[in-house]
């Protein structure tokens, strides 16, 4: 059974800090892993997608890593800003494009 877990559920940091969000998945037969951002009352915005053959992806201040063998992914946010405050969701993609989502980490970056 595919399950995705995210830790911590909530995180509050002062502006400028570097931070790491964690995601773990039980079934390592993933096709890819994707990190999304969800703002209150809004849909999901894709941040980074890591294919199963890749180890990491970078976009600006964001870096996502993938370790299939241990069933883990991390999202690293450098020099956090108040605009980064949102809920971050990871989703593991399995066959037939089935996404399994974690419950998210709610991030608050304080000015």
The minimum distance between CB 16 and another protein, in angstroms, equals 27
Buried b / exposed e along 46-70 (16+ C-beta atoms within 10 A): ebbbbeeeeeebeeeebbbbbebee
Tokens 């995705």 -> residue = 4
**Using CB under 8 A, which of 13, 31, 68, 74 touches another protein?**
31
Contact segment (CB under 8 A) with another protein among 13-21, 56-64, 76-84, 91-99 equals 91-99
**Using CB under 8 A, which of 16, 20, 79, 98 touches another protein?**
98
Nearer to another protein, 10 or 17 (CB): 10
C-alpha 98/C-alpha 75 separation (Å) is 21
- Do residues 62 and 83 make contact, with C-beta atoms less than 8 angstroms apart? no
Binding site for another protein (CB under 8 A): 31-32, 34, 36, 41-46, 49, 51-52, 87, 89, 91, 93, 95-99, 101, 103-104
């Amino acid at each position: 059974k595919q399950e995705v877990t995210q830790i911590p559920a909530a995180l509050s940091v002062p502006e400028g800090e570097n931070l790491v969000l964690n995601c773990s998945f039980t079934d390592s037969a993933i096709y890819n892993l994707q990190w999304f951002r969800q703002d209150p009352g809004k849909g999901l915005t894709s941040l980074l997608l890591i294919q199963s053959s890749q180890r990491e992806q970078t976009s600006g201040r964001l870096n996502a890593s993938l370790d299939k063998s241990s069933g883990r992914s991390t999202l690293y946010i450098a020099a956090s800003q108040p605009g980064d405050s949102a809920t971050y969701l990871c989703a593991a993609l399995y066959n037939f494009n089935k996404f399994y989502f974690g419950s998210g980490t709610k991030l608050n970056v304080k000015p």
